[in-house]
Structures are given as structure tokens and as C-alpha cells.
Amino acid sequence: MRLKKKYSLEEISSKYNCKILGDSQITFEYVSSIFNSKDNSIAYINDIKSVSHIDKTRLSCVITTSEIASKIKIPVVIHENPQLLFIKIINESYSPSDSSMFSNTMDPCNVIDVSATIGINSVIGKNVTIGKSSIIYPNVTICDDSIIGDNVIIQSGAVIGSDGFGLIKDSDLWVRVPHIGNVVIGNNVEIGANTTIDKGTIDSTIISDNVKIDNLVHVAHNVKIGKNTAIAACVGIAGSTSIGENCTIGGGSGLNGHIHVTDNVHIHGMTMVTKSIKEAGMYASGTTVEPADSWRKNQARFKELDTLAKSIKKKI
């Protein structure tokens, strides 16, 4: 994202009472992530594991904590909460109300192929691309900067590019994280009714070619879904999770955030995926239905399993 003005680190230091490590006259006019940086841009890092990525970037400077700052070669803005300062810088230039979605006119920058079909009451933001022979059913919302490929079908009630559930604490108050990324949808993708795909926080949420998504699915910010993967209804995928190619995910399953599911994984319905899956195959979790009286007894015994296991181990 390009900011409304060019900043120097000296200006940021003065305005937000921060220390600078390195050249305070360095300037920036973009915000970016460390994984997709631009020239003259600033990013933030909270995790020392991310330091190794900085040498591969085009960043002018970075925001981080005092503990991490000494390990970084480029100029650094030191702040106890790097993401919070990053958000404040973005909010000086970003307002959701700038979108054409709040007016009755189509943005002239949109690129919508003449063969695409747009249903009534659909709302399309600015800088949106829709490819050949795509069908957007009535009452669909497509937010700013979304890129939709050829032969895509989006059923009624779907929302493409909504803000993700990004919050950060400032003292005791939750602060909304502005989402300035977008959604990129490949060719031959189908998206079911009332499915929501959040845009990336900074970069893109990516739905690759020939992905099929059922009704009432939630795809959170910065998720990546590989080619030919099919996802049944009521699945929830938390932020920054990546799913490989040729996967299937059964209805009602939930996937934790910041994990990776490799190619050719088949997840049964109602499965709870809490960690990365590194090998192809079939996966399931949960218990099957049974009479309530039996379930209560088994649940009570389940709570005793750890104590029983320790007792047996001592006897062995």
C-alpha cells in the first residue's frame, strides 16, 4: 500500500516517541510485509525467527522491539508493540469509506470482461478484475482490489474480500487491524452461497485454479488454497493457513491458523485440525454420535484418563 505522504524515520520517532537504530533520515512511502516488500517500504516484525527474511527483502526500514533490533542490519524503529505502531502509520493514509462500494457508481478502474455476468443487487468495489465467462449471482459482494479469474461461479450471498478478524490490544482496548490486502481467485473456481473469503492483512488471500468451495464456508485472511481442492459446507479455515493441491475437506471441519496442509490430504467431516499435516492421506477426529446417557458416562471417564495412565505407568 502506498501512503499519502513520504515519511522519514526522524518524523516517526518524533511523532510516536520511538527510538531509531541506524540512519534517521531514511524515508519510506509504502507499507508491506517482509515476504512481499517493495522499494521504499516499511514492515514490522514481532518474532526473531523473521529476522532471517529481512536480507532477502527490498525494505528501507523495519519496526521491531529493542530485543530484536540489534540483529537487523537496515534502519530500525524501536517500539514495544511493533504491529500497533505499524497500524497507526497505515491509518494515517487508509479509510474504508474511500471505497466506491459506498456509492451507486461503478469504479472506472474496474476490469470486467464483457462475457462476465453480474447478477442484480451485487456490489462491486474499486479496482476489481473479473475474467471471461464468470458468473456472479445476485446479492454478491466483491470488495476492493479483488481479482477473479475466468469461468468463476460465485453464488448468491457470498462475500469476497471482507475484512478479517484482526485485532490487537492497545493497553486494555482492542484495536482493529486494517486489512489492506486483497483476494485473488484463479480460473474455474466455484464459490457457494453465503461463503466468506477475507482479504489479506497486507498481502493476498489466494484461491487457486479449479478450487470448489461449498456454501457457508469461511476462509480467513491470508489463507492459501492449492489447485483442485474441494471444501464442503460449514468449514472454517483460520488465518494464514495454507492448504495444498488435490485436497478434500469434509463438512463442518475446522482448521487452526498458521498451519500447513500438504498436497493430497483428505479430511473427514467434523475434523478438528490443530497442527500441520505433512504427509498425504486420510485424516479424521472427533467421536461418533451415541445416546446421551452413554456419552455422559464416557465423558466422565475421559476426564480420568490422564490419572489412570499415570497410575498404570507407575505399576509397570
Any catalytic annotation for residue 221?
yes
Question: At 64, is the pLDDT very low, low, confident or very high (cuts 50, 70, 90)?
Answer: very high
- Asked if 36 and 56 touch (Cβ cutoff 8 Å), the reply is no
pLDDT at position 316 over 80 = no
pLDDT at residue 102, rounded to an integer: 86
The dotted CATH code for 2-91 is 3.40.1390.10
pLDDT of res. 222: 98
User: Which residues belong to CATH 3.40.1390.10 in the chain?
Assistant: 2-91
3-class secondary-structure state, position 159: strand
pLDDT for 287 equals: 78
CB atoms within 10 A of CB 137: 19
Q: What is the per-residue pLDDT across 15-28, written as a single tens digit (0 to 9) for each?
A: 999 999 999 999 99
Average pLDDT, the chain: 95
C-alpha cell at 244: 495444498
Which of 2.160.10.10, 3.50.30.60, 3.40.47.10, 2.60.40.10 would CATH assign to domain 105-283? 2.160.10.10
Asked if the model's pLDDT at residue 143 lies above 80, the reply is yes
Residue 59 pLDDT: 96
List, for residues 215-239, the tens digit of each pLDDT value.
Answer: 999 999 999 999 999 999 999 999 9
Q: Could you give the residue range(s) of every CATH 2.160.10.10 domain in the chain?
A: 105-283
For the stretch 40-59, pLDDT in tens is 999 999 999 899 989 889 99
The percentage of the chain sitting over the pLDDT mark of 90, rounded to a whole number, equals 84
The pLDDT of residue 72 is above 80:
yes
CA dihedral 83, 85, 91, 94 (to 10 degrees): -60
**pLDDT on residue 140:** 98
Q: What is the pLDDT of residue 315?
A: 80
In sequence order, which residues have a C-beta less than 8 Å from that of residue 40 and are 6 or more positions away? 6, 27, 28, 29, 30, 60
The answer to whether 142 touches 155, Cβ cutoff 8 Å, is no
Bridge partners (DSSP) of residue 77 are: 20, 63
For 157-177, write each residue's pLDDT tens digit: 999 999 999 999 998 999 999
Structure confidence at residue 101 (pLDDT)? 86
User: Which entry of 79, 218, 221, 260 is annotated as an active-site residue?
Assistant: 221
pTM of the predicted protein model: 0.93
Q: How would you write 249-296 as a 3-class SS string?
A: ECCCCEECCCCEECCCEEECCCCEECCCECCCEEECCCCCCCCHHHHH
